Structure 1
Amino acid sequence: MADAASDYRAWIGQRRTHEDVIAPFPPKALIATFDTGDPDPRIGDPLPPVWHWLYFLDTAPWSKLGRDGMPTRGDFLPPIPLPRLMWAGTQFTFHDAPLRIGDQVTREQEVSSIEPKTGSTGQMVFVTQRLRIHGPAGLAITEERSSVFREDAKPGEKQKAPRQAPTDASWSKTIAPDPVLLFRFSALTFNPHRIHYDQPYVTSVEGYPGLLVHGPLMSLLQIELARRSTPGRKVASYSCRALAPVYANAAFSVHARAEADGSVTTWIADPNGGMAQQGKVTFA
């Protein structure tokens, strides 16, 4: 991994820029997917925090997708040979220039760090990207997004049980993640990763016991619970870290706890009460 680390360092600083329009249909479709009953978005309405994930979608052609359905590496990201990809977490700062429906927007994307590591399941490489999103009013969002590339599962490998999640939430919600929910979120984010919809692939090739719930989907559910439980407050920052996978067809729960300093701690508890994700929301 030492030689690989040296090779990967050459990719740090790789940049690209995308433009998009905050069209009303994607948030309308996410409202339907989350079943919140909100009115249809209209031109000029503010875009809720983190809903920019519905834009700047990767449109790699079919011929450039790998075995897992994801774009092959070696263009923007380095050609890391480890086959399994997982979302690891993210951090956001929301600046005083909110995005609105109808805005023309630009995203600057940069590879900011690449860290090879060795864990209990073998070799891993963590890749972090820095993203800056600008709207008509200036810099709107800064994001640090992390992914991890891992070895194939070894025969008989079992997932380590996560630690137990807290039980002192101020607000909670239960989600029943059926394949339809996973399909809708994959479609909305143009996510071709087969671990979310291809049962034979995810069990026989990647070695998981079932379809995985998207990490970003669970992250969105946490900030949605936090902001809807504290109406009238402006989100200043949000961070979220993945700790353990969650699988389709078994209900998990979303939790948020009001803290003395005014922030809100969020987390996802798997069906057995294990901590699957943890996050933090601060307000301006």
Structure 2
Amino acid sequence: MTATDTHAAWKGRREEAEDTLSADTAARLAATLDHPPAPTDVAPLLAHWLCFPPRAPHSELGPDGHPRRGGFLPPVRLPRRMWAGGALRFMAPLRTGVPVRRTSILADVRESEGRSGPLVFVTVDHKLRQEGAPVLTERQDLVYRGAPVTPPAARERAPEDTPPPGLWQRALVPDPVLLFRYSALTFNAHRIHYDRPYACEEEGYPGLVVHGPLTATLLLDLYLRRRPGARVTGFRFRGVRPAFDGRELTLHATPTGTGADLYAADDRGRTVMSAEVDAV
């Protein structure tokens, strides 16, 4: 059986899980985003990413800190895994202290060839419910890549068009403390986010990698800071390239008739992530 056949056999797999987001954990996310304490039983948007953390025993983690391949996700042998993007629809607020049920389906597995070698794309669909009522749906796109074979500088992409500056902007420098706090909130042991020697020497990055979900959360947070009363109904994001600690990250948002167009840019002005918000 070929690797392609093995991966295809994982399509359609289904998983059920239940968790409860505490008000304290939601407050810690708000603190990480630099928001003042605001007691409420409604969690911030995207706080559901703090639910359902991986619970693999320490002895079952791979060399990158992720749970070993297999189980629900296919046993892709390519060593580097990144969250490439996703799309969400929000039907109701996520409430703290109320059990949330997640149904996950492995919707697609496909192989491709990129500039740096083979790629495997995995798409997972999630549905979250509380007390039987839908809260949100989500599509997650994961990408697996091979080990680096050339120095990072040699792998830089050709110059690209940079979007115009957003009407709203926020600049910050992600530091190891921010990355640590988000890793702790999500129980994410992926070493590229906190182990600098591993990130640089094993995976060929120039620094610690900023979590894709953290960048997405910061982009949506920028919109909500400017439109605090908006009811967000949808959010889509796509990772373009990694962002790294110690380098300025600029968040941009431009309101539209139905929400906003957003993007994050690195210290060289290159797009790190693009996103769209739907709101009423």
- TM-score band (shorter)? over 0.9
1:239 equivalent in alignment to 2:245: no
Check conservation: 1:164, 1:273, Cα contact below 8 A. Answer: no
The count of residues paired between Structure 1 and Structure 2 equals 278
Match in the other structure for 1:249: 246
Q: Match for 1:132: what amino acid? A: K
Match in the other structure for 2:35: 36
Q: Pick from 153, 156, 160 the counterpart of residue 157 of structure 2.
A: 160
Q: Which moved more, 1:97-106 or 1:60-69?
A: 97-106
Match in the other structure for 2:68: 72
Match in the other structure for 1:281: 277
Q: Pick from 98, 102, 106 the counterpart of residue 111 of structure 1.
A: 106
Q: Match for 2:137: what amino acid? A: T
- What secondary structure is seen at the aligned counterpart in 2 of 1:35? coil
Gaps of 5+ in 1: none
1:161 deviation in Å?
Answer: 5.2
Q: 1:162, 1:276 → 2: CA distance? A: 13
Q: 1:72, 1:139 → 2: CA distance? A: 31
Q: 1:251, 1:17 → 2: CA distance? A: 39
Match in the other structure for 1:136: 131
C-alpha distance after superposition, 1:217-261 (max 9, x if no partner): 0000011111221122211100000001111011111111112x2
Match in the other structure for 1:27: 26
Q: Percentage identity across aligned positions?
A: 39
Q: Pick from 33, 48, 53 the counterpart of residue 44 of structure 2.
A: 48
- What secondary structure is seen at the aligned counterpart in 2 of 1:249? coil
- What secondary structure is seen at the aligned counterpart in 1 of 2:163? coil
Q: 1:68, 1:161 → 2: CA distance? A: 29
Q: Pick from 220, 224, 229 the counterpart of residue 223 of structure 1.
A: 220
Match in the other structure for 2:178: 181
Q: Match for 2:141: what amino acid? A: S
C-alpha distance after superposition, 1:137-166 (max 9, x if no partner): 601110000110001000335232563432
Q: Match for 1:76: what amino acid? A: F
With the length of structure 2 as denominator, give the TM-score of the two structures. Answer: 0.95
Q: 1:84, 1:137 → 2: CA distance? A: 37
List 4+ stretches of structure 1 deviating above 3 A.
none
1:13 equivalent in alignment to 2:17: no
